[in-house]
């Protein structure tokens, strides 16, 4: 076998699972639709308000429920059949997208209605996100979990390339409202896959019986695993100020470069191209270490600083590619550290804590980044994200050794506090 084929086999190893292949097929279609909506929603808010602060507020309202309810979403994921939970949450997300699209097409949409729908979307996502992330490892063998997690990120980022391009075309031709209708229709693909999936072939952990203190046990488990704790804390800091660059991109397109929706979609696509490369690189990597996590964060910050200084759209697009790659490598490493190193019985709760750190940090950071970008310019919004990523990466590099001890979970009958073993 040639070296190239061996490398490809390692990168896509988990796709030998039929369940994972089918799920990724449906998820890819759904994620394309989700990115169409993610691009269209801030553009709609900017069109209605012409205010960067309101743009940040909309992001905050969409992700505030994840901050408040996300950890409980992990408890639900551990207590119930994840496939059934995903069927419910996917259906609700599709209905909300259809409502938003209908209001926009009928020219009845207002800022208050956008904010209400954003809160409802976030509430559903608080339960959907930890369930979806912890469902992927159940579709593969244990030794393929890290690869499946990285390929899941690759699906997400591949859609990030296609989705913004479709959104830009739809906005420029038939209108913003159709972006939300397209997203609503895209959820049908995931629903069909989940309905047709054979539950007997899913390697699910036994449902967690209802008891007091289960959320606290999940938090204690994560805190006592050094690399898991580091991954969650660094993701929170970077999530607050660095990953909120989605708030900055429409302002860069509209005010700094004056390129309209086309330039905005191109910038989103450029970060998506880089992120796809970063996700595939992560799928090929070995074991996660604190050093790798820290270096990825520092690289992400340095590329973001370069993006803040780009003099024109063409150079900005070139810089956004490595920025997207570095950001995705950091995210993939942090996510894999959480997914690899926990007992399946607590995976939903620990994954939920990671989701809170990554997505729940948005309502804290997006109004800050939006206000800074509104009053000091979009470049300043990127600059504070760059400083946060570099600083956090340096802390990660000095906090844990390059090869931390492996975490072994406590027996399932005991409180789920991990212990270290050589």
Decide if 193 contacts 66 (C-beta within 8 A): no
- What is the value of pTM for the model shown? 0.69
pLDDT at 331: 86
Express each pLDDT in 33-72 by its tens digit: 998 998 899 889 888 888 877 877 887 788 788 878 877 8
C-alpha count within 13 angstroms, C-beta hemisphere, residue 33: 24
pLDDT at 420: 27
- Specify which of 42-46, 165-169, 304-308, 398-402 reaches the highest per-range mean pLDDT: 304-308
Express each pLDDT in 204-221 by its tens digit: 766 666 767 777 888 888
Express each pLDDT in 169-193 by its tens digit: 898 888 899 999 999 999 999 999 9
Decide if 60 contacts 367 (C-beta within 8 A): yes
What DSSP character marks residue 127? H
Decide if 136 contacts 152 (C-beta within 8 A): yes
Cα(87)–Cα(90) distance, rounded to whole angstroms? 5
Residue 243 pLDDT > 80: yes
Residue 393 pLDDT > 70: yes
pLDDT at 384: 93
| Mean pLDDT in residue range 257-269 | 82
Decide if 39 contacts 265 (C-beta within 8 A): yes
Decide if 396 contacts 294 (C-beta within 8 A): yes
Percent of the chain at pLDDT > 70 equals 88
Cα(332)–Cα(297) distance, rounded to whole angstroms? 11
Confidence category of residue 99, pLDDT binned at 50, 70, 90: very high
DSSP 270-331: HHHHHHHHHHHHHHT--S--HHHHHHHHHHHHHHHHHHHH--SHHHHHHHHHHHHHHHHHHH
What DSSP character marks residue 406? E
Percent of the chain at pLDDT > 90 equals 26
b/e sequence 271-282, b meaning 16+ C-beta within 10 Å: bbbbbbbbbbbb
Confidence category of residue 286, pLDDT binned at 50, 70, 90: low
Residue 13 pLDDT > 70: yes
Residue with more model confidence, 307 or 366: 307
Cα(71)–Cα(54) distance, rounded to whole angstroms? 27
Residue with more model confidence, 291 or 299: 299
List of domains in the chain: 9-421 (1.20.1250.20)
Express each pLDDT in 126-157 by its tens digit: 899 888 888 888 888 777 777 787 777 778 76
Judge residue 175's burial from the number of C-beta atoms within 10 Å of its C-beta, 0-12 exposed, 13-18 middle, 19 or more buried: middle
C-alpha count within 13 angstroms, C-beta hemisphere, residue 371: 9
Residue with more model confidence, 203 or 407: 203
What DSSP character marks residue 411? P
pLDDT at 401: 57
């Amino acid at each position: 076998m040639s070296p190239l084929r061996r490398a490809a086999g390692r990168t896509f190893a988990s796709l030998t699972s039929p369940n994972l292949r089918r799920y990724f097929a449906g998820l890819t279609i759904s994620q394309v639709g989700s990115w169409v909506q993610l691009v269209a929603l801030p553009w709609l808010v900017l069109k209605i308000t012409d205010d960067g602060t309101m743009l940040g507020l909309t992001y905050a309202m969409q992700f505030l429920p994840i901050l408040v309810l996300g950890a409980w979403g992990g408890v639900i994921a551990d207590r119930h059949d994840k496939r059934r939970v995903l069927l419910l949450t996917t259906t609700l997300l599709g209905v909300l997208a259809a409502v938003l699209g209908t209001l926009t097409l009928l020219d009845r949409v207002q800022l208050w209605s956008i904010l209400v729908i954003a809160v409802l979307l976030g509430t559903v996502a608080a339960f959907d996100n930890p369930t979806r992330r912890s469902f992927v490892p159940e579709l593969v063998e244990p030794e393929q979990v890290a690869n499946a997690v990285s390929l899941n990120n690759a699906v997400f980022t591949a859609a990030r390339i296609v989705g913004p391009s479709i959104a830009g075309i739809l906005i420029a031709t038939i209108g913003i409202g159709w972006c939300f209708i397209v997203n609503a229709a895209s959820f049908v693909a995931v629903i069909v896959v989940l309905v047709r999936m054979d539950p007997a072939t899913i390697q699910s952990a036994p449902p967690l019986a209802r008891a007091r203190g289960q959320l606290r046990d999940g938090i204690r488990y994560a805190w006592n695993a050094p690399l898991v704790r580091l991954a969650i804390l660094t993701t929170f800091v970077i999530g607050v100020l660095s990953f909120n660059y989605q708030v900055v991109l429409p302002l860069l397109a509209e005010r700094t470069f004056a390129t309209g929706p086309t330039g905005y979609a191109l910038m989103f696509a450029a970060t998506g191209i880089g992120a796809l490369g970063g996700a595939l690189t992560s799928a090929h990597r070995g074991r996660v270490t604190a050093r790798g996590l820290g270096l990825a964060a520092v690289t992400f910050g340095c590329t973001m600083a370069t993006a803040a200084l780009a003099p024109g759209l063409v150079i900005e697009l070139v810089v956004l590619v490595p920025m997207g790659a570095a950001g995705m490598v950091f995210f993939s490493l942090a996510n894999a550290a959480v997914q690899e190193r926990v007992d399946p019985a607590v995976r939903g709760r620990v994954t939920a804590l990671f989701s809170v750190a990554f997505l729940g940090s948005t309502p804290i950071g997006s109004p800050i980044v939006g206000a800074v970008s509104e009053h000091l310019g979009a470049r300043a919004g990127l600059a504070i994200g760059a400083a946060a990523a570099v600083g956090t990466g340096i802390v990660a590099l000095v906090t844990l050794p390059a090869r931390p001890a492996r975490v072994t979970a406590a027996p399932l009958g005991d409180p789920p506090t991990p212990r270290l073993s050589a």
